[in-house]
Amino acid sequence: MGLIILFAIFFGGIVMGVPVAFTLGLAALGGFVWEGISPAVAFQQMTSGMSSFSLLAIPFFIFAGEIMMHGGIARRLIAVAASAVGWMRGGLGMVNVAASMLFGGISGSAVADASALGSVLIPAMKQKGYDTDYAVNVTVTASIAGIMIPPSHNMILYSLAAGGGISVSALFFAGIIPGVVMCLCLGVAAYVIAVRRGYPAEQWQGFRHLIMTFLDALPGLMTGVIILGGVLGGVFTVTESAAFGAIWALAATLIVYRGLSWETFKVALAASVRTTAVVLLLVGTATAFAWLLALYGFADMLTRGMLAISDNPVVILLLINVALLLLGCVMDMAALILITTPIFLPVVQALGMDPVQFGMVVMMNLGLGLTTPPVGAVLFVGCAIGKIRMEQTMKGIWPFYGAILVALALTTYWPAVSLTLPRVLLGYGQ
């Protein structure tokens, strides 16, 4: 009965439009009251969830992404991508995907990726004769690279939701190959559609121009090098690398590029504070919610239920993927990571899947949810920049969804896609 009450309050709040963080908190509070446990315990669980040291990396990563978005780094990364792949048919579509790989690997945020790159590339693509739906669809789907290619604060949330025993460094390096594979699949889809619609190719400007744009963007690219190189070399912890990454991004935009004014700095700082506050509130309320799920043994119940349907790992992983995709269509990504990880992780571990590999499956599934209606935040950003209705974009987005699903299938059923780099670079699992 307690489990029924818990989920009834939760789904009732979602249907009524109550913010997810408050819904989780109210559901947890209702569960504690039903069990006769002091409500003070709920607040103790919230506090303990938000007190994790590893969470300190999240505000630094978010701040670094905001600084780069407002300080001119995104524009220079677009120039590098245009010099490298703009000569292909539908060149600006290729530029969009390549720039998302570069910027996503620094900002770690799909929304920041879509906002920063979309505000430049979507108008440019429309001006060059590209259809608006194509420009928006390439932008929003390629932005998932910000979730997969490190650093990604969502991977820190996943590690926390999994009990804190999973190496964040291993998760970071595990996301590189799946992220690149996904972008390659999106590039193929963008190219095929560009050929069919007869989009133009940009003029090749030579290797000298490519080298010059790369050198201009190098200070911005060094942010990612500092973060990943510091972790890989054992110089920094993940939290320390996040702090040094934010300091470097601030120095690059202030001293090298001089593209960050006092006004834009305040905008970036305020946006970082708002996002961090939302994430930490979600962490706290989700911790109390997950405590009750553990009390009721919900993960064991779900594992037994799925194994009763089928003992075939392929079928069960397919069911979990479908569940994550459907949930991603209607809920916020951070909340879903915190809610679904304690539920599904024991199931996949019973099937022999590595938790790091499952983390990449969760990231890609829920990242895809950010690009789907009715609550896809990234899709809303792209439509707002492109000044197009969501219904119009949906007509042509299916090839891009298909490309992501191909990468998702490879990540789900081929462990080497996500585990090779952690094993080679970090000795993970050895």
Please report, rounded to a whole number, the percentage of residues in the chain having pLDDT higher than 90: 14
Is 138 within 8 Å of 97 (Cβ atoms)?
Answer: yes
Q: Provide Rg for the chain, Cα atoms.
A: 21
What is the pLDDT confidence band of residue 105, given thresholds at 50, 70 and 90? Answer: low
Confidence (pTM): 0.79
The tokens of 140 are what?
């929003």
In this predicted structure, what is the pLDDT of residue 409? 95
Cα separations (Å) of 276 from 61, 155, 228, 314?
Answer: 10, 15, 22, 37
Give me the mean pLDDT over the 395-424 stretch.
Answer: 93
Q: Is the residue at 80 inside a domain?
A: yes
Query: What three-state secondary structure class fits 259?
Result: coil
Poorest-pLDDT segment among 30-34, 82-86, 184-188: 82-86
pLDDT greater at residue 332 or residue 370: 370
Poorest-pLDDT segment among 15-29, 275-289, 294-308, 392-406: 294-308
Cα separations (Å) of 300 from 45, 293, 297, 349, 362?
Answer: 21, 10, 6, 12, 19
In this predicted structure, what is the pLDDT of residue 355? 94
The size of the chain, in residues, is 430
Mean per-residue pLDDT of the chain: 82
Separation of alpha carbons 347 and 298, rounded Å: 11
Q: Is the residue at 331 inside a domain?
A: yes
Domain extent, residue 219, equals: 54-288+296-426
The tokens of 309 are what?
């349907």
Separation of alpha carbons 208 and 120, rounded Å: 24
Which residues lie below 8 Å from residue 159, measured CB to CB, with a gap of 6+?
54, 166, 167, 168, 171, 359
Q: Is the residue at 40 inside a domain?
A: no
* pLDDT 10s digits, 283-297: 788 778 877 877 777
What is the pLDDT confidence band of residue 177, given thresholds at 50, 70 and 90? Answer: very high
Poorest-pLDDT segment among 23-32, 161-170, 324-333: 324-333
Give me the mean pLDDT over the 14-24 stretch.
Answer: 79
Q: Is the residue at 35 inside a domain?
A: no
The tokens of 129 are what?
């004769």
Query: What three-state secondary structure class fits 344?
Result: helix
Cα separations (Å) of 273 from 96, 115, 151, 280, 335?
Answer: 28, 18, 19, 11, 18
pLDDT above 70: residue 430:
no
In this predicted structure, what is the pLDDT of residue 420? 94
In this predicted structure, what is the pLDDT of residue 54? 67
Which residues lie below 8 Å from residue 70, measured CB to CB, with a gap of 6+?
253, 259, 260, 264, 265, 267, 268
Which residues lie below 8 Å from residue 423, measured CB to CB, with a gap of 6+?
429, 430
In this predicted structure, what is the pLDDT of residue 299? 66
Phi, psi of 73 (to 5 degrees): -70, -40
Is 58 within 8 Å of 274 (Cβ atoms)?
Answer: no
Phi, psi of 201 (to 5 degrees): -110, 145
Is 153 within 8 Å of 109 (Cβ atoms)?
Answer: yes
Q: Is the residue at 21 inside a domain?
A: no
Q: What is the domain count for the chain?
A: 1
Q: Is the residue at 311 inside a domain?
A: yes
In this predicted structure, what is the pLDDT of residue 374? 64
If we measure between CA atoms, which residue out of 278, 405, 421 comes closest to residue 356?
A: 421
Is 135 within 8 Å of 88 (Cβ atoms)?
Answer: no
What is the pLDDT confidence band of residue 375, given thresholds at 50, 70 and 90? Answer: low
Q: Is the residue at 369 inside a domain?
A: yes
The number of beta carbons lying within 10 Å of the beta carbon of residue 401 is: 17
In this predicted structure, what is the pLDDT of residue 65? 75
Would you give the distance in Å from CA 178 to the centre of its chain?
12
pLDDT greater at residue 377 or residue 25: 25
Q: Is the residue at 210 inside a domain?
A: yes
* pLDDT 10s digits, 303-354: 777 777 777 888 889 989 988 888 887 677 777 888 888 889 988 888 889 9
pLDDT greater at residue 118 or residue 345: 345
Query: What three-state secondary structure class fits 89?
Result: strand
In this predicted structure, what is the pLDDT of residue 405? 94
